[in-house]
Structure 1
Amino acid sequence: MTQTARSLVIIGGGLAGARAAEGVREAGYEGPLVLVGAEAVPPYIRPPLSKEFLAGTDDRDAIDVHPREWYDEHRVELRLGRRAERLDPRSHRITLDDGTGLPYERALLATGAAPRPFGGPGGDLDGVRLLRTVDDSIALREALEPGGRRVAIIGAGWIGLEVAAAARGYGNDVTVIGLEAVPLNGAIGDDAGEVFAALHREHGVDLRMSTSVARIVGEEGRATGIELEGGDVVAADLVVVGIGAIPRTELAEAAGLDVGRGVVADAAFRTSDPDVLAVGDVASVFLPFLGTHLRTEHWANAEHAGKAAGRSLAGEAVEYDDIPYFYTDQYDLGMEYSGYGPLASGVAPIFRGDREGRKFVAFWLRDERVVAGMNVNVWKVNDTVQQLIRSRAVVDPAALADPAVPLEALAGVAG
């Protein structure tokens, strides 16, 4: 099959792709628009898959980006259950896995990332789970819901801890195994990570930190536990692997586009080929505020950058420079984080509020300026945190830690 009319084509059926379709139409583009998605269902939102949906508090409809009829109403042609096999910038043609050719005027890569599998022995046993798709989450929820099971989680990052919280909520025994001394070390550092470590221990999670996994052990083809370096075995009825994600850059690489830690794109999401754009988990986008490229794997990036990339795809002048943002919900703890992780790395945070009671705001400073902030069980402050980051104001750490000093006043100080 071959399509002869040139279209705007979005490759990727996730949140970034769906928001890009919105951006295209909001920019006033009236021509043909095609969205190619590898899954057989319309685009949905992924963060609840390890949070509310996994915990059973959100139903299936709650995670859809749009109802199915939205795509018809906005003349978005869905090619679901199809993968783009080849992107040819010279002929401006995309080839799908069923042989269909899609001639494109401009294309947007929103191919996302794939969960990193466990690379050691036993990774292919039954009962070893990865979490990326809604089907993954449904299967994991069905395995957790009866309760009373032994769940071992490899990885003490956001996915690992969120799955741990959901598993404990169903009444399962949970062990989390992490390489670092403190959970979330790579994301928020030891001081803030200790807050989450204490939270999980209080809820009965067995944290095995500074620990590496030798192999996943099993009997009759099914996982029965995890053997640690040193020989100890953690018995498990279910093993969940949450050790990061790998951007899906294969299509871009084969097309000859510049690829670094993701598909390299400018602030308008244009890759090394100006008629091919990239957004979301797969893209390393230049952020003018930061002065460098950054690949971000969080919901807000897909939500906001997706729409901006769609406007750029439609021909509108765009310079994207939003501050990265993400959130988590674990037990009775809710958190929002805004800022630039690379700048915050290795910096001890300044806490404002009750750290022991888990009701505080933490700030990371670089050159006396706030580069990241995290509010825990403190609400309606994230916008101010972002204003403080964007202000580049020089701040007094003592004033930052003092709840009596309004954050708005600090954001208004000339840098």
Structure 2
Amino acid sequence: MTGRLVIIGAGQAGFALAARLRALKDDRPITILGAESELPYQRPPLSKKYLLGEMSFDRLLFRGAEWYADNNVEIRLSAWVEDIDRAGKAVLLQDGSSIAYETLAIATGASPRQLPAAIGGDLDGVFVVRDKRDADRLTAEMRPGRRLLIIGGGYIGLEAAAVARHLGLEVTLIEMAERILQRVAAKETADFMRAIHVQHGAVIRESTGLVRLIGENGKVTAAELSDGSVLDVDFVIVGIGVSPNDRLAKQAGLEVANGIVVDAFARTSDASIFAMGDCAVLPWKGQMIRLESVPNAVDQAEAAAAFMTGGTEPYEAKPWFWSDQYDVKLQIAGFNLGYDETVLRPGAREGSASVWYFRAGQFIAVDAINDAKAYVTGKKLLEQGREPDRSILADATADLKQLLS
């Protein structure tokens, strides 16, 4: 192909696609359309080191402006896409202009779910954490002694709690399910992470939902909770999950199912349109899944680039994730969907452990808490399609290397 590739989305997947194509010596014209005013940047550090003031924004940029000029990649910032004209093979922008494409890639990511306005979600002082603007607005709020309510006990909420406690805020986190991390991790992992937060002074209230936020003069001041209590707050962070940004695909008539449906080469139901990253639903081990992770965004985009340049290798996702909270590094290999058994293995040093997941007797994932050896071992077993020896897992004194021999 020699015609223009238009990439909608200037996040991890969009940048990775353009960079990989240039690394593969593909010289087709490329235009990246980014809705934000910033050059493409890493998002995970925003809610951690950037918010803590430990990393400047320029260090988050994938590349400086010169890279785009040197590699003949046009990047348009503050460019909001209104529609896709599939028949005319053009992207229509909010300012009334259009850009013709031969190939189109949708890498629009996902957006945080918002609280409804009916329960106070539109009050000042209610935040989500997804982009630089969110992080910059939060920086002004993150001051010692202030009272923060976090709604949602998933990884987003727990990471925000860790940062806030590090900065000296009073933190209460509520989770409407019976425990934190209920949707994404086993009870053993949740118990470990909860204990860490309690040790650091965060208040974790499970089986507790939000009834409504209360405001004065348009700003949040309190929260009424499902147990009947009212909590005074200075601001609120909402971490109740994300939704794929698939609006454009729906409007264009592409196949959508809680994300943009793609095949193993990242192609949508229109052969000239690809989708990748958090907005895409891809085939994996006989099922369709959506992976919200940086590694998947990069790997899927690079696999698509290889296919666009003549490759024939289908993308096989190798799910892995991570979460940093206080001095704890949680590393996850595999996808624990549908697990029916877990094995908890103490780590070699204090404050470390691993949780091994099984479904119908088959090893499917591992959570490694401050335990790099367990993570590396579990990841290799999954990649090789091998089962861990249960007797070695059960023996806390055994060397995990034996699982690979």
CA contact (8 A) 2:189 2:367 kept: no
CA contact (8 A) 1:83 1:97 kept: yes
**Counterparts in 2 of 1:222-241, with a 5 A limit?**
222-241=219-238
* Residue 379 of structure 1: aligned partner: 372
* Residue 70 of structure 1: aligned partner: 67
AA in 2 matched with 1:366: R
* Residue 167 of structure 2: aligned partner: 170
CA contact (8 A) 1:20 1:311 kept: no
Query: Does 2:381 align with 1:388?
Result: yes
* Residue 356 of structure 2: aligned partner: 363
Alignment CA distance shift 1:307-1:409 (3 Å) = same
**Counterparts in 2 of 1:143-154, with a 5 A limit?**
143-144=141-142, 146-154=143-151
Q: Deviations over 1:207-235 (max 9, x none)?
A: 11101111111111100011112431111
CA contact (8 A) 1:27 1:316 kept: no
How far is 1:6 from its partner?
Answer: 4.2
Query: Does 2:262 align with 1:269?
Result: no
Aligned equivalents of 1:150 and 1:220: distance in 2? Answer: 18
Q: Which moved more, 1:229-238 or 1:401-410?
A: 401-410
Q: Deviations over 1:67-118 (max 9, x none)?
A: 2211111111001100111112222111111122111111111001111001
Listed as ranges, the gaps of 5+ residues in structure 1 are: none
Identity of aligned residues (%): 36
Aligned equivalents of 2:21 and 2:228: distance in 1? Answer: 55
Q: Deviations over 1:17-67 (max 9, x none)?
A: 100111221233211011011001111111112222122222212211112
AA in 2 matched with 1:243: I
**Counterparts in 2 of 1:8-23, with a 5 A limit?**
8-23=5-20
**Counterparts in 2 of 1:2-401, with a 5 A limit?**
6-119=3-116, 120-144=118-142, 146-287=143-284, 290-344=285-339, 347-354=340-347, 357-401=350-394
Structural RMSD (CA): 1.8
Q: Which moved more, 1:378-387 or 1:96-105?
A: 378-387
Q: Secondary structure at the match of 1:143?
A: coil
AA in 2 matched with 1:212: G
Q: Which has the higher contact order (CA 8 A, sep 6+)?
A: 1
CA contact (8 A) 1:8 1:105 kept: yes
Aligned equivalents of 2:344 and 2:389: distance in 1? Answer: 13
Aligned equivalents of 1:370 and 1:58: distance in 2? Answer: 38
Q: Secondary structure at the match of 1:186?
A: coil
How far is 1:404 from its partner?
Answer: 4.6
The 4+ residue runs of structure 1 with deviation greater than 6 A are: none
AA in 2 matched with 1:393: R
Q: Which moved more, 1:395-404 or 1:58-67?
A: 395-404
Alignment CA distance shift 1:409-1:319 (3 Å) = farther
CA contact (8 A) 1:369 1:392 kept: no
State TM-score, norm by structure 2: 0.95
State TM-score, norm by structure 1: 0.92
Aligned equivalents of 1:243 and 1:10: distance in 2? Answer: 28
Aligned equivalents of 2:290 and 2:348: distance in 1? Answer: 30
Q: Deviations over 1:363-414 (max 9, x none)?
A: 11123332111211122553432221133323332322334544444345xx
Q: Secondary structure at the match of 1:185?
A: coil
Q: Which moved more, 1:310-319 or 1:46-55?
A: 310-319
Q: Secondary structure at the match of 2:185?
A: helix
Aligned equivalents of 1:88 and 1:406: distance in 2? Answer: 58
Listed as ranges, the gaps of 5+ residues in structure 2 are: none
Aligned equivalents of 2:112 and 2:386: distance in 1? Answer: 38
Q: Which moved more, 1:247-256 or 1:61-70?
A: 61-70
CA contact (8 A) 1:127 1:239 kept: yes
How far is 1:355 from its partner?
Answer: 9.4
Aligned equivalents of 2:39 and 2:373: distance in 1? Answer: 32
Q: Secondary structure at the match of 1:135?
A: helix
CA contact (8 A) 1:151 1:237 kept: yes
Aligned equivalents of 2:401 and 2:262: distance in 1? Answer: 34
Aligned equivalents of 1:388 and 1:75: distance in 2? Answer: 41
Q: Secondary structure at the match of 1:162?
A: helix
